Amino acid sequence: MQRLHLQSHVKVRRLEADVDRMADVLALIVTLADSDPAPFTPADTLTEIARLGRAALIGATPPDTSP
């Protein structure tokens, strides 16, 4: 029973970390959307969102690809 509790605790921690990463990505998306003038075209913004989302899913810090 204690082992099951420990496994559940690990899963909760992992989910919390995923939520934190996705919250960071969403905050960046909002920042980009509120920028004036917009730093990206709509197509570039979608590409950037996808890149950040993939990085967040694997728990990595995405490299900066800005020119």
Query: Quick one: pLDDT at residue 31?
Result: 76
Rounded to whole angstroms, the Cα distance separating 13 from 62 reads 22
**Cα 44 to chain center, whole Å?**
17
Angle CA(50)–CA(16)–CA(23) in degrees, nearest 5? 40
Mean pLDDT by 10 residues, the chain (67 residues): 73 84 78 71 80 74 57
**pTM of the prediction?**
0.47
- Look at residue 1 and give its three-state secondary structure: coil
Cβ neighbors of 48 (< 8 A, separation 6 or more) are 32, 40
